[in-house]
Structure 1
Amino acid sequence: MKKMTLETLARLAGVGVATVDRVLNERGGVSPETARKVLLAAKLNGLNRILPEAYQHPWRIEVILSANGSYFFKGLDNHFREIASALGYRRVTLHRTFIAESHPERLAAHIAECAHTRDGVIVYAQDHPAVYAALVSCRERGVPVITIVTDLPDAARLCHVGINQLQAGRTAGLLMGQTLKTAGEVVVVSGRGDYSAHRERIEGFRRVLQLRFPQISLKEVLAGQDERQTIRRLLGETLKKNDKIVGLYNTGSGNTEISAELENHQLLGQCVYITHELYSLTRRLLHNGCLSYVLDQNARQHAQLAMDIMLKKLSANQDADIYQSGKVDFNIITAENCD
């Protein structure tokens, strides 16, 4: 029998020579179905070489995060990259995309594209009909989806990874009520309302104040939309016309602008100020007595859990509990434990 060449094997398997080379030398980048076809052709036609016992191309995982530039999402991105690097290129090919929160249609189009090009998707997404439709296309093509940070309860997803946002809001309400020594009004600065995380934080915060601290009035919710200049303008207008503000709860980004406005109105360090995520600015504000509490989501645990759950599904078809498998505990940070 003539020696079988890569060209002959490629013809028998119905693929290109480069594909045969990738399979036989375990270089990755080939679908499992194509790899099995090449290996079967090699065995049936007596290729005189040691063949891989098993073949698995690197899982192509797409991580889609917010492009708002916040510390949390920058940290989350770094953690995903570190985890993927530790797993190795033979096991995971990580793709990262950042999409502005103001463009849900663009996000939906990208998710729909990933349904054809990725093995799994991890996504931070808002409530929008186009997003839900795109997630259905992933399910129809067998591409598992994990929502991260903010959930889409009615979406076609494998599970959600994140903290209990309602509980975080309730905790902020409890801390606010127990720390305030006098009656007064509290302002909430909110992120985008089309993300369930912000809605749930506000709901939990309001519920605790109403039930347990009736002497505290929730003045209003400022819809900052995670836009820094909008946050500063709205808060500045509110503080200018109201001298009874004793507390502020921020559910999203904009701590630089918020602290500047509080300082302009001699309230920084004088009112109870609660926000989310521990980073250089919030750590400094805590140390200086300007910030009362930080609720930190633990970005590293988000990335690790999401990758673990996704790889178990892809490698062993192991399903996850929609809410429990991806549960992340948040931390309450004060000036005494922020280092």
Structure 2
Amino acid sequence: MDARNQNAVAEFILLGFNSLQRWQAFLFFTFFLLPSALTITVNATIIATAWKDNPLYTPMYFFLSNFSFMEIWYTTVTVPKMLSSFMVERTTISVSGCIIQFYAFCCLGTTECMFLGVMAYDRYIAICYPLHYSTLMNKKVCTRLAVGSWVSGFIGNLPLTISTTQFFFCDPNKINYFFCNLAPVLNHSCTDTSVSEMIFFTFTWVIILCSFLLTMVSYCFIISTICRTPSTIGRQWAFSTCASHLIVVTIFYSTVTFMYVWPTVRYTFQADKVVSVFYCVVTPLLNPVIYNLRNKEVKEALRRVLCGRRRLNWKNVGLIDWDS
């Protein structure tokens, strides 16, 4: 289609969940506002506790603090526009704002993939090489792994974002979505987007497969080590330290595969919106609950911080000397 014969648009209209207007107030408070507020509060509490309470200042909780920080940004990137679609009749976003939102969302998704792989590697070292854990996962190594995860997420998505800025968007400017996801946005481009779509899905496949393979290989070695452990208590401890991560990995890869690995024609299905809500609203709230609040060490640390006590518990899993 010749872009010169079309009317350029300066903004998009996000339709959100316009087919559920009768449930607007109920959905706004129950499924969006309350979970989003809880997500920010719970993740911020986890970060503050992990950094303030000395026994939790370990590699595992260092990575979890970064993970919680990322979940807070996930919520702030997508949820505000989602909430505004319930409060106002017409939710708009500029083309540049839409591209920025899409870039931030993709960066955070890539970073999450990297952190899941890094945390699987951390559990692999802790269980398979416990005597060398403090040396292999010292402060310098953990910092490099965390910085590498963040940098790879934000740099890896630059080529697609830059190419998207060159697109010409034309009427109709209504996006049947609640935030600027790739498929519904590219559907409104009057220029050829096949190359950008190929780049995006190739990059998505590479990131998902690499992080997933790293996670699975780590757990193959972990399970092999656990099976050779003669102590029943030792096997229970090892499984308990990995169960939370496996649950989060399963939830994450199930939703992200549905959203981005299938063909782009899916975006017309209402099911895609439901999965996106789960990915953007529910998962950031579930992750800290699964990872931390079911963990005895974290609950004890929360009591110490809230009560102002600094009682030390040196039985924390994976405790090391960060100055090594």
Which structure shows the higher helix fraction? Answer: 2
Structure number with bigger Rg:
1
Q: Give the TM-score, by structure 2 length.
A: 0.27
Which structure shows the higher strand fraction? Answer: 1
Q: Give the TM-score, by structure 1 length.
A: 0.26
